[in-house]
Amino acid sequence: MFTFEYFLSQLVNGLKLGSVYAMVAIGYSMVYGILRLINFAHGDIMTVGVYTILVLTTAFGMPLWITVLISIIISVLVGLTAERVAYRPLRDAGEETTLISSLAVSILIQNLLVMIFSPQRVAFHLPEYLSKLYTFGTVRLSTINIITFISVFVILILLSYMIKYTRIGMAMRACSDNMNAAKLMGININTVVVVAFIIGSGLAALSGLMLAGEYKTIDPLMGFVPGLKAFSAAVLGGIGSLSGAVLGGFILGVAEMLFAGLMPTEITPYRDAFVFLLLILVLLIKPNGILGSSDGGRS
């Protein structure tokens, strides 16, 4: 039953899924790295981005790249409002408080989406050139998968360069290391946080496009579970470190797919449970994740 080719095709499925998790996980890590804030609403901002694309393509028939641009802008706006209204007043409150606030924002966005667009699951089609299929033996890849896979690494390199060599990148690292000291260096914390949310929410919109492109349907509640899994990937890889998020994303995607593919069929439905069991195990062995720096918290 387990021919090499079967194993290979499951592995490729894992990489496909992993690249989507990695995209979302980078968005999580951007915000968490600086603010120690878990943005539960990150998954739902992704859904907002996808719905914008859908509305613009179906209602106004705009070409895809314009809709993607607008969807990034709208997702960023949603992210910034959430930061301004729900997170900024709680900046020096404990981690749990901002966690709860992000939970409330997530519930708020989901219900607003359900009211504006009906709860119906709706078809979502990418233009032909994006969903063309290439087959290598049993392995099948569509252009959107390849684009996702490549863009994860492109974004990782771009962001890492930005963090390492630009002014805003240094300011971000300073905030992440010690927020009070950063203030005394004359760094405007709010601008740094806003930039982090712009990048995070923008990435969420992109990953939303790729997730919907892969599964061809969208619904208002689609963002929450992938968001949670992407967060586990970010924690697995070492939250706060971008390369950790990408690594965690791929490990989680491949592990989940191999589990679903190789294990006997009775326990395939334990797939989600397995993902979180894996997370708990890794956190036991290496509390800060695989690549995580010893996270002294805010000294």
Partner 1 sequence: MLKINNLCVKYDTIRAVHDVSIKINDGELVAMIGANGAGKSTILKTISRIIKAESGSIFFNGKDITKSTSHEIVAMGIIHVPEGRQIFTKMTIEENLKLGAFLENNKSKINENFEKAISLFPLLEERLKQIAGTLSGGEQQMLAIGRALMGSPKLLLLDEPSMGLSPLMTQQVFDALLQLKKEGITMLLVEQNAYDAMEISDRTYILETGKITMSGNSKELIEDPNIKAAYLGGE
Partner 2 sequence: MKNRFGGKIVSFLLVLVLVVAMTGCGGSDEASDTINVGAIFNLTGGQASIDEPSYNGFKLAADEINANGGINGKMINVVSYDGKTEQTTVASNVKKMIDVDKCVVIAGLSDSNYALAAGAVAQEKMVPFITSGATLPTLPEQVGDYAFLAPFGDDVQAYAAAEYAIDELGVTKAYLLTDQSMEFTKTLAKFFEERFLEKGGEIVLKDNYMNKDPDFSAQIDRFIANQNGAEILFISGVPDDAGVVVKQFRDKGVTLPVISGDGFDTPLLIEVAGADADDTYVATHTSLDNTSEKVQNFVKAYEEAYGNAPENAFAALGYDAMLLIADSLSRTTDVTNPTEIRDAIGQTSGLEVVTGTITYEEGSRVPNKSVTINKVEGGKFVFQQEVNMSK
Partner 3 sequence: MKLRESNLFRFISFVLIPLTIIVYAGFDRGGYYTGLINLVGINIILVASLNLVNGFSGMFSMGHAAFMAIGAYASAMLTLSEVQKLTLMPGLPEWLMALVLPFPITLLIGGIFAAIVALFIGFPVLRFKGHYLSVATIGLIIIVRAVLDNEDQLTNGARGITGLSSHSSTWIIFAIAIIFMFILHRLLNSAYGRGLIAMRDDYTAAQTLGVNLTTKKLSAFCISAFMAGVGGGLWAHMINVISGKFFYIEYSFKIVETSIIGGMYSISGSVIGSILMTYIPELLAPLENGLKIFGTRLPELYGISNIILAVLLIIIIIFRRQGIMGYSEIITESIFSIDTYKSVFQKQEYYKLLKIVGYKIKRIGSIPGYISNRILNRDNKEGK
Residues that bind partner 1 in the complex, under the rule CB under 8 A: 167, 170-171, 173-174, 177-178, 180-188, 293, 296, 299
Query: What angle in degrees, to the nearest 10, is found between the helix axes of 167-177 and 4-35?
Result: 80
Element (H, E) at 139: strand 139-142
Stretch that binds partner 3, among 57-65, 104-112, 181-189, 253-261 (CB under 8 A): 104-112
Q: Are 252 and 21 in contact (CB under 8 A)?
A: yes
Q: Which of 196, 79, 215 is nearest to 148 (CA)?
A: 215
Residue choice 69, 115, 157, 185 for contact with partner 3 (CB under 8 A): 115
Q: Are 205 and 45 in contact (CB under 8 A)?
A: yes
Residue choice 116, 268, 277, 286 for contact with partner 2 (CB under 8 A): 268
Query: What angle in degrees, to the nearest 10, is found between the helix axes of 189-215 and 167-177?
Result: 100
- Selection from partner 3, partner 1, partner 2, none that 214 binds (CB < 5 to 8 A by kind) is partner 2
Element (H, E) at 36: none
Binding mask 226-245 for partner 3 (x = CB under 8 A): --x--xx--x----------
Element (H, E) at 294: none
- Binding flag, residue 1, partner 2 (CB under 8 A): yes
- Binding flag, residue 123, partner 2 (CB under 8 A): yes
Min separation Cβ 215 and partner 2, Å: 4
**Gap between the terminal Cα atoms of the chain:** 54
- Selection from partner 3, partner 2, partner 1, none that 178 binds (CB < 5 to 8 A by kind) is partner 1
- Binding flag, residue 279, partner 3 (CB under 8 A): yes
Residue choice 266, 294, 296, 299 for contact with partner 3 (CB under 8 A): 266
